[in-house]
Chains A and B, each alone.
Chain A
Amino acid sequence: MKKASFLRTASVLLFSVALLFGCSSGGGNGSGTPAASNGGTTTGAPQKDQMVIAVNENFITMDPQNTGDALSSGVQSAMFEGLLIYDKDLKLMPGLSTEYSVNEDATEYTFKLRQNVKFHDGTPFNAEAVKINFDRMSNKDNNLRAYRNYKYIKSTEIVDEHTVKVTLNQPFSAMINKFTTGIISPAALEKYGKDITKNPVGTGPYKFVEWVQGDHLTVELNPDHWNKGAAKVGKIVYKPVPENGSRVAMLKTGEADVIYPLPEQQVETLNGEEGVKVERTPSTITRYVSINMLKKPFDDPRVRQAINHAVDKNAFIKVVKSGYGAQLESVMSPTIAHYAKQGAYEYNIEKAKQLLKEAGYENGFTTDIWGNTNSDTMKGMQFIQQQLQKVGITVEVKSMEEATLSDEIYGIKSPEEAKMNMWYVSWSSADPDNAMRSLFSSENFPPAGANTAFYKNDLVDQSIKEATQSSDQDKQKQLYGVVQENVFKDAPWIFLAVDEILYGKRANVNGVYITPSGGIYVREAAFQ
């Protein structure tokens, strides 16, 4: 009896031991093999043929027409192409179309399609495929994110096998940028239905191999690509690695060939590291503090200007961004079309105090600033707190978990209900419409949109509206210039910085870039 029960105990213990040593038998004698695993297929080949790209988050979806996060888009860009594509500097270049023309009032786009292109599943790419895709996106009932941009499309007509005509129901200046949305194989749409999110089939330089949820996504070179030879690496593996330190370690050991993002404070640890390069690119990301202009004392422009004079932007970049980044000298990043530099609110405490005095706040006031729980955000908010203290403004720092914060800011019934005073935040945009209409048009007050400063200026509203509906680049430039000038003067934000994109790569990696908007450009991927 007793013996039996003891045996049972012993067997449980033994089982754990067996599990341990069963797992660890077979090697493990520290023979110094490099930790990097090459998918087990490289049989001592001299040419490395698999590239590992480690990123910071999980991918959400592989349906390019229903994607909202930069990372999923970044991965998709290997497999999908739009009629136009962004190059590594966010310039538009021909993709699945070779040329296009626009009518006078920017309501008709005619595209000449690239010929002899096939989707990865062998389906021919033609005007019909474009129509199926555009109809999918412009149909409200499909509930796709791309509907936001494609709702302007009234009809897509097949002119002939290789020509399509797209008619809009109203002019939309940013429409041309939206034609970069990836085009999916109609046969695959048919075949997979809802599961298209897991089975991407496009025309891009790389074909989908597998996506192991949460672990990795693999693509392989498409031998039939229309631009054959540009990309040379046989396989690319994308891996989500959320912990910054672990990503950096992977780059050092060679387990990863490219890592993005590379946190500013980790750059030091890679400098001088053998075989590793740190790359810097100006980004589309603006960093600012949104000020609620509906609330006292922020309804007075002098107060907002005073705050801008009280914050030392250079010190901000040095302290909070470890020296990476540039002063924000307009309402958007210089990488975006129609950027108009406005200069900067010079750092001048006396001037700030003077302005506060004029506004009737000689002794300052008390307020609070909101932000997420990210350590960089905390650092940024504390910096603002300490700067404003010097002019007598007491700021309480309140950090909230991201979803709670989003609820506090956007989950309000009406603008008057907003509790927010100041919000430390960033915004990334690809085109001027998205950089300005979303943030400064008065129709976008929360809860309806992202104008969290509750900025309202009739001239700005009018200019944005006109620019949106114009196809004339010069006119757009002039109108968006007016917007930038006025917003900058009215100071609905504390204008802080434009982020720099930092990424690390092994020295033998060529032709892989992180674009200013955080996309992963692999169209020319190669090893030296």
Chain B
Amino acid sequence: MFRYIVKRLIEIIPIIFVVSLLIFFFIHLVPGDPVRLAAGKEATLEEIERVRQELGLDKPLLTQYVNYMQNLLTGNLGHSLKTGLPISDMFENRFSVTMTLTLMSLGWALVLGLLIGTISAVFRNKWPDYVGMLTAISGISLPGFWLGLILIQVFSVTLGWFPTGGVESWKSYVLPSLTLGAGIMSMLARFTRSSLLETLKEDFIRTGRAKGLKESVVVRKHALKNSMIPVVTIAGLQFGFLLGGSVVVETVFSIPGMGRLLIDSIAFRDYPVVQAVILLFSLEFILVNLLVDILYKALNPKIRYDS
């Protein structure tokens, strides 16, 4: 197991290298000139050229890439073209904000998703199942920005329970994390339900029931654990969706996180910031999927990685 993890960690290096290469050339291929945007509509050509030189954007693309990689290897993410601030400064508060938001969303999604899925499976085709699945369908189909605005209207404006946005206290995270988690919660609920229904048909479950075990014990101790494998897969894959969703949710709830930074930077063609954010997102995604594979092993000892 340990050897496997080390191997996987080493594998990350070339992946990140390829990702960085792709991001760099893609973002530079997109039309739009950060220098023009930075200099403004009334800049003279001379001014624009001066700024271009100052930012090093006049050099050939390959030279720029080599510089960027050299900086990256020394842990220097570079400076924002738009604000001139070091990117590490810009990440300082934003990273923890987005991390808190995504983890809280995943938390909601796991707890509620497993709960709804299990109840739906156990009470298959009875009203709790219908209610549960209706919730799940809604969670998938409602667009995030719409759900967010509705939650603000109900819980902030009408009831005054939670703030409409920002990151003042834990209260600020409740509505956005519900909004962000809704989609994944629904996916998890549906997968838990179908996977649990499959497992409940298995022989070992019949054995358990024949032994006279309580139904609750059968479900909790035997069926649930065995139905978790597909659910964990989905949770891992959906983590990328969380990062993407954070862009929308952070905008609706005016949360100063990485998602909003990404959107702002793309609009401004702030190359170094876009590169840094996507790189970080990729890294997170890779690590989460590594974690999922490790969880597999924990859930199902039959899966062997070391061979």
Contacts and interface: CB of A to CB of B under 8 A. Distances in A.
Interface of A: 1-2, 5-6, 8-9, 12-13, 16-17, 19-20, 23-24, 26, 28, 30, 32-37, 54, 58, 60-61, 68, 140, 143, 145, 147-148, 194, 197-198, 212-216, 239-243, 245-246, 249-250, 252-253, 255, 401-404, 406-408, 410-411, 434, 438, 447-450
Contacts of A61: 83-84
B89 interface: yes
A243 B299 contact: no
Contact of B301 (A1, A23, A213): A1
Contacts of A60: 82-83
Given A16-B107, A213-B85, A410-B41, 4 more contacts: A35-B163, A214-B260, A214-B261, A249-B164
A212 B261 CA distance: 13
A198 B85 contact: yes
A213 B38 CA distance: 18
A404 B107 contact: no
B153 interface: yes
Contacts of A249: 152-153, 156-157, 164
Given A5-B301, A6-B225, A249-B156, A16 B106 contact: yes
B42 A246 contact: no
B78 to A, nearest CB: 14
A57 B42 CA distance: 21
Q: Which A-B residue pairs are the 10 nearest by beta carbons?
A: A403-B32, A214-B256, A215-B256, A16-B107, A5-B298, A241-B254, A68-B40, A20-B107, A35-B163, A249-B164
B170 to A, nearest CB: 5
A242 B165 CA distance: 11
Contacts of A448: 44-45
B230 interface: no
Interface of B: 30-33, 36-45, 47, 50-51, 54, 82-85, 89-90, 92-94, 103-104, 106-108, 110-111, 114, 145, 149, 152-153, 156-157, 159-171, 173-174, 225, 228, 251-254, 256-257, 260-261, 264, 267-269, 295, 297-299, 301
B95 to A, nearest CB: 11
A23 B225 contact: no
A35 B160 CA distance: 6
Nearest to A40: B168
Contacts of B163: 35-37, 253, 255
B298 A8 contact: yes
Contacts of A37: 163, 168-169
B93 A213 contact: yes
A240 B254 CA distance: 7
Contact of A20 (B82, B104, B228): B104
A438 B161 CA distance: 51
Contact of B54 (A30, A143, A242, A407): A143
25 contacts: A1-B301, A6-B299, A8-B295, A9-B298, A16-B110, A16-B111, A20-B111, A26-B170, A28-B171, A35-B163, A37-B168, A143-B51, A148-B42, A197-B85, A213-B94, A215-B256, A241-B254, A243-B253, A245-B149, A253-B164, A401-B267, A404-B31, A404-B32, A406-B37, A411-B33
